[in-house]
């Protein structure tokens, strides 16, 4: 092609007198804008917050925050008696409502027991926006959808739960400190004689020697006992007095006296997941 151009130049011919045709053996590529396309819907990740909220078994309404005051003996009309626990409901008010649009899930933030000093600026601003007095203890309850939200500033009393219904109570158990295997896990202990010397309450062998040559994870050993979150399910409500501000529940609940507890509807009876409802 270059030789033909130079030959025309030597003869004094202009390029416009004889048009040049350049051919190229190349694949014809179709423009991407000429192909008809369809926008597909974005797939939801299985481990996303949206799918997790649909899988969880949530209640239709929030619970209550209370203070454990001790145990009493409850007598029935037919002469039966059993242990019961008294829980005080002290100024339990709604502080904030969280929705899916703002936080990704639906919940109600509650506070209890008025507090007059040592309040952080962040919490004080939150209390001022809600129009309630500063609280000593704050708890959050996840609910199923926005139909269970309660207006901010509403006070929840003891008659929030009906007499005879079942509730779940969640609290921090009593701290027992460092305990041995007999107290912590109920081990039998070693023999009282036949060569056992000053090791009657010990755990004994922890495992094999060379195989595997280590103590396997999860082995029940001596350690710190108590001080962990514990939930007691299906406790019956025996009495609820809104004026006096206390609830009486059948049986015992975790935690020492004057500890904070969370009371909610029985999850095994009243909770449902959005995925099962659909």
pLDDT tens for each residue of 112-134: 999 988 888 988 998 999 999 99
Q: Is the pLDDT of residue 142 over 80?
A: yes
Assigned domain for 154 exists: yes
pLDDT tens for each residue of 13-40: 454 555 555 555 555 666 666 666 777 7
Mean of per-residue pLDDT scores for the chain: 87
> Going along the chain, which residue ranges are E strands?
64-75, 81-88, 92-98, 107-114, 135-142, 155-156, 166-172, 177-179, 223-225, 229-241, 246-250, 260-265
Is the whole-model pTM more than 0.85?
Answer: no
pLDDT given for residue 274 in this prediction: 82
C-alpha 130/C-alpha 108 separation (Å) is 12
pLDDT given for residue 4 in this prediction: 56
Assigned domain for 8 exists: no
Continuous H helices in the chain: 2-10, 49-55, 100-103, 121-130, 181-185, 267-270, 274-277
Structural domain tally of the chain?
Answer: 1
Assigned domain for 93 exists: yes
Domain containing residue 105: 56-185+225-276
Assigned domain for 201 exists: no
pLDDT tens for each residue of 30-67: 666 666 677 777 776 777 787 888 888 999 999 999 99
pLDDT-derived band at 277 (thresholds 50, 70, 90) equals confident
* Torsion angle defined by CA atoms of residues 240, 229, 113 and 258, in that order, rounded to the nearest 10 degrees: 80
Greater pLDDT, 122 or 248: 248
Q: What is the CATH number of the domain that holds 85?
A: 2.40.30.10
pLDDT given for residue 27 in this prediction: 58
């Amino acid at each position: 092609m270059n030789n033909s151009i130079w030959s025309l130049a030597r003869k004094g011919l202009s390029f416009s007198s004889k048009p040049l045709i350049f051919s190229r053996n190349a694949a014809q590529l179709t423009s991407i804008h000429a192909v008809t396309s369809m926008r597909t819907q974005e797939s939801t990740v299985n481990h996303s917050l949206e799918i997790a909220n649909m899988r969880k078994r949530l209640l239709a309404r929030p619970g209550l925050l209370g203070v454990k005051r001790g145990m009493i003996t409850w007598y029935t009309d037919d002469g039966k008696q059993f242990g019961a626990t008294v829980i005080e409901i002290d100024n339990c008010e709604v502080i904030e409502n969280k929705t899916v649009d703002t936080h990704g899930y639906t919940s109600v933030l509650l506070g209890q027991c008025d507090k007059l000093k040592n309040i952080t600026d962040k919490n004080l601003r939150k209390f001022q926006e809600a129009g309630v007095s500063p609280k000593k203890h704050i708890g959050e309850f996840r609910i199923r959808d926005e139909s269970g939200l309660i207006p901010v500033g509403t006070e929840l009393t003891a008659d929030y739960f009906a007499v005879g219904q079942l509730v779940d109570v969640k609290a921090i158990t009593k701290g027992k400190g460092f305990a041995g295997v007999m107290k912590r896990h109920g081990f039998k202990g070693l023999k009282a004689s036949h060569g056992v010397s000053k090791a009657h309450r010990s755990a004994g062998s922890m495992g094999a020697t060379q195989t595997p040559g280590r103590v396997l994870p999860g082995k029940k050993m001596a350690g710190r006992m108590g001080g962990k979150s514990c939930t007691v399910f299906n406790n019956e409500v025996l009495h609820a007095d809104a004026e006096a501000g206390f609830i009486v529940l059948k049986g015992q609940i975790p935690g020492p006296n004057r500890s904070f507890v969370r009371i909610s509807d029985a999850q095994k009876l009243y909770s449902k997941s959005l995925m099962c409802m659909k």
